[in-house]
A and B are shown apart, each in its own frame.
Chain A
Amino acid sequence: SQTIHQWPATLVQPVGSPLSLECTVEGTSNPNLYWYRQAAGRGLQLLFYSVGIGQISSEVPQNLSASRPQDRQFILSSKKLLLSDSGFYLCAWSMGYEKLFFGSGTQLSVL
């Protein structure tokens, strides 16, 4: 069966520090991969999505970037975090046009 791993669960980082969040999927090949951000009490904002290795599409201009070095690995990065980058980050995967499967999320606090 397919599983998705996302870590860490909680992260506290100072302003200006770098960020790396990793997500891996098991049990499937060539999934579509997604990064979402959720502000407290709000809906999900699509940040990046990828349909294949090295293929990244960005939805929102920001100081975040994403990479897909392997088929089932999706990484969210920043060189210098801002206060506004705080939020709940969710990785998800799907096969084509159907439902999303979400990871358990990373709560990022930038102080």
Chain B
Amino acid sequence: SQQGEEDPQALSIQEGENATMNCSYKTSINNLQWYRQNSGRGLVHLILIRSNEREKHSGRLRVTLDTSKKSSSLLITASRAADTASYFCATDAGTGNQFYFGTGTSLTVIP
């Protein structure tokens, strides 16, 4: 079953702007991950944040996690046209080895 839900479903921004995507989930988790998918391709892992962490950075990516609200956000700073893709959050729903994905946010970065 779907564990997470991303918001917004679609986002269109100008190159250089920041993009923020949100993810809400339903159950307790051990970790939450963000993935990127280019059209018609497999997903690529971006960043993982553990349940005892509140914020994590990787390059132009910043992820926050609020376990009390069961929500996470992904911020992409100084966006580029090459960031155009769909972004998904995934959680393990506390299982440790099963990963459930959200519905995704489609990001378009206009050059």
Q: How large is the interface on A (under 10, 10 to 19, 20 to 34, 35 or more residues)?
A: 20 to 34
Q: Mark A42-81, 1 if CB is under 8 A from B, else 0.
A: 1111100101000001010000000000000000000000
Beta-carbon nearest neighbor of B2 in chain A = A43
Are the CB atoms of B42 and A90 closer together than 8 Å? yes
By secondary structure, the A interface counts as strand
User: Which residues of chain B from 93 to 108 have a CB within 8 Å of any chain A CB?
Assistant: 96-104
B35: chain A residues at CB < 8 Å are 100
- List the B residue with the shortest CB-CB distance to A4: B42
Known A-B contacts A42-B103, A46-B99, A51-B97; A104 and B88 likewise in contact (beta carbons under 8 Å): no
B contacts with A, residue count (CB < 8 A): 26
Which of chain B's residues 55-101 have a Cβ closer than 8 Å to chain A? 88, 90, 92, 96-101
Partner of A43, one of B88, B92, B98: B88
User: Is A32's beta carbon under 8 Å from chain B?
Assistant: yes
A76-101 vs B, CB cutoff 8 Å, 1 = contact: the mask equals 00000000000010101010111111
Contacts of B4 in A (CB 8 A): 43
Binding site for A on B (CB under 8 A): 1-2, 4, 30-31, 33, 35, 40-45, 48, 88, 90, 92, 96-104
Interface residues of A (CB under 8 A from B): 6, 32, 34, 36, 42-46, 49, 51, 57, 59, 88, 90, 92, 94, 96-105, 107
6 further A-B contacts with Cβ under 8 Å, apart from A94-B97, A100-B45, are A32-B97, A43-B102, A43-B104, A45-B2, A49-B98, A105-B42
